[in-house]
Amino acid sequence: MASDDAAAVRVVGGWASPFVMRVCVALRLKGVAYEFLQEEPGKKSELLLASNPVHKQIPVLLHGGRPVCESLVILQYVDEAFSGARPRILPVDPYDRAVHRFWAEYADAKLPTALRTLRGMIDGDKAAAAEQVAAALAQLEEAFTACSKGQHFFAGDDIGFLDIVLGSYVGWFRAAERITAQTVLDEMRTPRLAAWAARFCGHESVRDVMPDAGRLVEFGEALRAALAANANAQRM
């Protein structure tokens, strides 16, 4: 474990956020100890607002008191700031690095809104959202075949950048399955991704920070109720 640097590392976030989970997994993968500062759902602390005044969103990584914002940026920062710790998060080869970044941005473009629709967090056509998630996962199944080169993870023999990005959604895939009673990670349609997800969740850097699906469902229900109460209060 890192010592002096690790003592100065803090993560501002929320346990249910896939974007926050990414930061925690990256730090654990590098063996960097950190302090987790839980934000109260629906509220923004003074520390968060001061640390991320532009977007006012979690996660924020504080390293030596200096804030780094946005999960993909933070993953790259952790890889570089703790470059002496192995494994690497991003591929060494520039082309491989570009490919992994492409698919990470693809996942973030296609999955969050559709998953929120499936979970009932926003209004929308749930059937269309399910089709969008299925289509995106089919593309990512092909990407896994190309990127993994026959090994267990997108990054090869250990998890890396793209594993962490896509893997952060697995908890919410499982929660969406409970809410909709429909399979999201389908072993018939995307067998390689389904097997990869099980390996990812069992990884030592992941298993203690992967949210339980039942707890995520409860969190979503509580958040929906709070949002509805807020909306009713504003109309009065």
CB-based contacts of 110, cutoff 8 Å, min separation 6: 132, 133, 135, 136
* Dmax (CA) of the chain: 59
Query: What is the pTM for the complete model shown?
Result: 0.92
Q: Report the top-level CATH class of 94-216.
A: mainly alpha
| 121 band by pLDDT with thresholds 50, 70 and 90 | confident
Query: Where in the sequence of the chain do the CATH 3.40.30.10 domains occur?
Result: 9-82
Cis peptide before 59 (omega within 30 of 0): yes
| 235 band by pLDDT with thresholds 50, 70 and 90 | low
| pLDDT tens sequence across 134-174 | 999 999 999 999 999 999 999 999 999 999 999 999 999 99
Q: Report the top-level CATH class of 9-82.
A: alpha beta
| pLDDT tens sequence across 179-198 | 999 899 999 999 999 999 99
Kindly state the DSSP code that residue 210 receives in the 8-state scheme.
S
CA distance 92 to 161: 11
Kindly state the DSSP code that residue 119 receives in the 8-state scheme.
T
Query: Where in the sequence of the chain do the CATH 1.20.1050.10 domains occur?
Result: 94-216
If one counts every other C-beta atom within 10 angstroms of the C-beta of residue 158, the result is 16
Tokens at residue 149, please? 């080169």
